A and B are shown apart, each in its own frame.
Chain A
Amino acid sequence: MKISRQDVEYVARLARLTLEPEELELMTGQMDAILGYVDKLNELNTEGIEPTAHAVPMANAFRADEIKASIGIERALQNAPRADGGCFKVPKVIE
């Protein structure tokens, strides 16, 4: 086994996902199969090979620090599940 049910529960917590017991079962089996498959990368010796994060080599993108109009508070809040006083409203953070 590449991954246990406990590992999958742990990763689900990291990913902020609640998985039902059946989902957890299925996910463990599927992740195990996929991780078993991707193990084939270990057939390759990659010592001394630079990682590629980006296919097109590019330097940092700089621009002038100019003030421009934004979409505005109303637009920014238009899809908020809950909003109040020009802010996004969330459940209580500190108990």
Chain B
Amino acid sequence: MAFEQMTIAEMRRELQAGRVTAVELTRACLERVEATDEQLNAFITVCAEEALAVAAEADRRIAGGEAAPLLGIPLAVKDIFNVTDLPTTCGSKILANYISPYTATAVARLTAQGAIIVGKLNMDEFAMGSSNENSAAGPVKNPWNLERIPGGSSGGSAAAVAARQVVAALGTDTGGSIRQPASHCGIVGLKPTYGRVSRYGVIAYASSLDQVGPLAGSVEDCAVLLSAIAGYDPADSTSVDCPVPDYLATLKSGVAGKKIGLPREYFIEGLDPDVKRAVAEAIEVYRSLGAEIVEVSLPHTDYSVACYYLIATAEASSNLARYDGVRFGARKDSGQGLIGMYQQTRAAGFGAEVKRRIMLGTYALSSGYYDAYYLKAQKVRTLVRQDFLDAFAQVDLLLTPVAPTPAFKIGEKVNDPLQMYLSDIFTIPVNLAGTCALSLPCGVSSEGLPIGLQLIGQPFAEADILQAAYAFEEATDWGGRVPELG
């Protein structure tokens, strides 16, 4: 079986049966990256030597009778995760020479099972962006159409999985950064509930919104990764100490009798006709599978983008204060004192979008504007969150589009940040509410671009949305498609 056609479960079966070794899988993975990444630019770092050494160790463990779900599986992670002795650039020039002194918990949980990290994936600088055009390592291309964006900020993760450079990857999602690129690249991406996965060792963007999650070619593979990374971590005091259910045990239970809500504010004018059609067809699939479909309302949806771009930028301005050229990062100093060194270092190290968000956030937190902007946004956040709690009193889960349009062209929105921000309208509310959601493929546009469906679950009910996603994947042919690359 060809590497690019295998799921994690299939790789595991082949490994356990001795029909393939972890070293062979890793070599196949590295060859696939070598053959396709000149086109895609999904990887910032490839660590072939380290990966092959870990793979050899995995083969010894398999020979010794071990069988953890990820043992011997080559994976990759967004370049926002620290991995000891590997570079972590976060897509920024300011961290160009940074070598991680420690490993993020989510990555450590993968490697503890015996997963092999083959590299670090491209992303928008400091996870700020919806198109992966804001990376110091250059834009990532959408594997379905190389002139299109892959989405962002986990654009490298989504493109790498879509092209099956790797079978699955980790990303982060602050306002849609897993779900939107998953949707644009035709794969499955899950943003867990805030607090479900440890963020220790993950570079912070907006701390009340950031969450780690998996991207994979199938719903089951997403569930396998979530099972590995979910759970309380004493090193992250915002991770929640509640039991992690067996996501695989309930995966195949179907959606008969489930109540699925369609928030009317998500089916608006301006929705691309292909997206509208694909989501409408998906709703019919769920109806045919025995789910009950009802209309609900999330009345404050239209305020979410404004609310998000105040809260996220305020938190970012504070989090990014640490890049001052003292403890790490590329220092720039022309002898104008400490403050001058800070200013020059930051001016030279940050890209335009990061500067813009630091400026907005600093303004929103500054004396005289705090109440009008930051506090106001936090109050509106309460209303957005309450919308979801009210909706979940009536339904089990919500179904919506992921993005208003399929992937746009590279360069199309770079000069209009506000238009770029507005493309996140369907994903941002979930982060503000702190609940979980996933994106899965539900169709293609007339131009052959993937379209994603968003399923939003109650807080900590990742099992419900995975189960509903699995039922859809089984009932349709939209999952598991891999683009032809030259």
CB contacts under 8 Å to B, within A4-49, are 7-8, 11-12, 14-19, 23, 27, 30-31, 33-35, 37-44, 46, 49
Which of A16, A75, A79 has the most B CB atoms < 10 Å from its CB? Answer: A16
Pick from A8, A41, A52: contact of B306, CB under 8 Å:
A41
**Looking at the complex, which one of B329, B359, B378 makes contact with A17 (CB distance below 8 Å)?**
B359
Interface membership of B19, Cβ < 8 A: no
Give the nearest-CB partner of A89 in chain B: B326
> Which residues of the other chain, B, contact A85 by a CB distance below 8 angstroms?
none
CA distance A81 to B328 in the complex (A): 6
**A46 lies within 8 A of B380 (CB):** yes
Closest to B363 in A: A11
CB distance from B56 to the nearest CB of A (A): 27
Whether A58 and B195, one on each chain, are in contact in the complex, defined by CB atoms closer than 8 angstroms, is: yes
Stretch at the interface among B35-43, B97-105, B153-161, B471-479: B97-105
Given contacts A40-B306, A44-B303, contact A81 B329 (CB under 8 A): yes
Asked whether A78 and B355 contact (CB < 8 A) given A14-B366, A37-B418, the answer is no
Chain B 331-364 near chain A by CB (<8 Å), digits 1 or 0: 1010101111111101100101001101110110
Contact of A34 with B342 in the complex, beta carbons under 8 Å: no
B413 at the binding interface (Cβ < 8 Å): no
User: Contacting B375 at CB < 8 Å: which of A27, A43, A51, A58?
Assistant: A51
A86 close to chain B: CB less than 8 A: no
The residues of A that contact B363 with a CB separation of less than 8 Å are 3, 7, 11, 31, 35
Q: Determine the chain B residues whose CB is within 8 A of the CB of A63 once the complex forms.
A: 234, 237
B327 and A79 contact, CB distance less than 8 A: yes
**With A16-B339, A19-B347, A90-B338 as contacts: A56 and B417 at CB distance below 8 Å:** no
> Is the Cβ of B338 less than 8 Å from the Cβ of A79?
no
Cβ B238 vs Cβ A58 within 8 A: yes
In the assembled complex, which residues on chain A have CB atoms less than 8 Å from the CB atom of B250? none
Q: Apart from A15-B362, A54-B194, what are 19 other A-B pairs with CB-CB below 8 Å? A: A11-B366, A19-B355, A33-B418, A34-B309, A37-B305, A37-B418, A38-B310, A40-B302, A41-B380, A44-B383, A49-B383, A51-B381, A52-B382, A53-B378, A63-B234, A80-B328, A81-B331, A92-B337, A93-B337
Interchain residue pairs with CB less than 8 A apart (8): A38-B310, A41-B303, A49-B379, A49-B382, A52-B385, A54-B194, A61-B237, A79-B327
Contact, CB under 8 Å: A17 / B326? no
B378–A52 CB distance below 8 A:
yes
CB pair B324–A16 under 8 Å, yes or no, is: yes
A-chain residues with CB within 8 Å of residue B343 when the two chains form the complex: 16-18
Report the 7 A-B pairs with minimum CB-CB distance, sorted nearest first. Answer: A55-B434, A51-B378, A61-B237, A81-B331, A79-B328, A46-B379, A18-B347
Query: Is A71 among interface residues, defined by CB-CB distance under 8 A?
Result: yes
Task: Classify the interface of chain B: helix, strand, loop or mixed.
Answer: helix
Contacts of A3 in B (CB 8 A): 363
Residues of B within 8 A of A41 (CB): 303, 306-307, 310, 376-377, 380
Chain B residues near A (Cβ < 8 Å): 97-99, 101-102, 193-195, 208-209, 234, 237-238, 240, 300, 302-303, 305-307, 309-310, 317, 321, 324-331, 333, 335, 337-344, 346-347, 350, 352, 355-356, 358-360, 362-363, 366, 373, 375-383, 385, 417-418, 421, 431-435, 459
Q: Which residues does chain B contribute within 8 Å of A92, judged by CB atoms? A: 337-338
Distance of A27 from chain B, by nearest CB (Å) = 6
CB-CB under 8 A from A51, the residues of chain B are 375, 378-379, 381-382
B240 contacts A58, CB within 8 Å? yes
Task: Given A34-B309, A79-B97, decide whether A40 and B362 contact each other with a Cβ distance below 8 A.
Answer: no
Chain A interface size band reads: 35 or more
CA–CA, A31 to B364, complex, Å? 11
Asked if A95 is at the interface of the complex by the 8 Å CB criterion, the answer is yes
Q: Which residues of chain B are within 8 angstroms of A52 by Cβ–Cβ distance?
A: 378-379, 381-382, 385
Complex: A94 Cα to B317 Cα, angstroms: 26
**Contact residue among A19, A46, A81, A91 (Cβ-Cβ distance under 8 Å from B335):** A91
Contact with B along A53-81 (1 / 0, CB 8 A): 11110100101000000010001101111
Q: What's the least CB distance linking B338 to chain A, in Å?
A: 5
Q: Which residues of A contact B380 (CB under 8 A)?
A: 41, 44, 46
Q: Determine the distance from Cα of A19 to Cα of B421 in the docked complex, in whole angstroms.
A: 23
Chain B residues lying within 8 Å of A91, measured Cβ to Cβ, are 333, 335, 337-338, 340-341
- Taken together as a complex, chains A and B put the C-alpha atoms of A91 and B317 apart, in Å, by 23
The CA of A92 and the CA of B378, in the complex, are separated in Å by 40
A50 near B: Cβ within 8 Å? yes
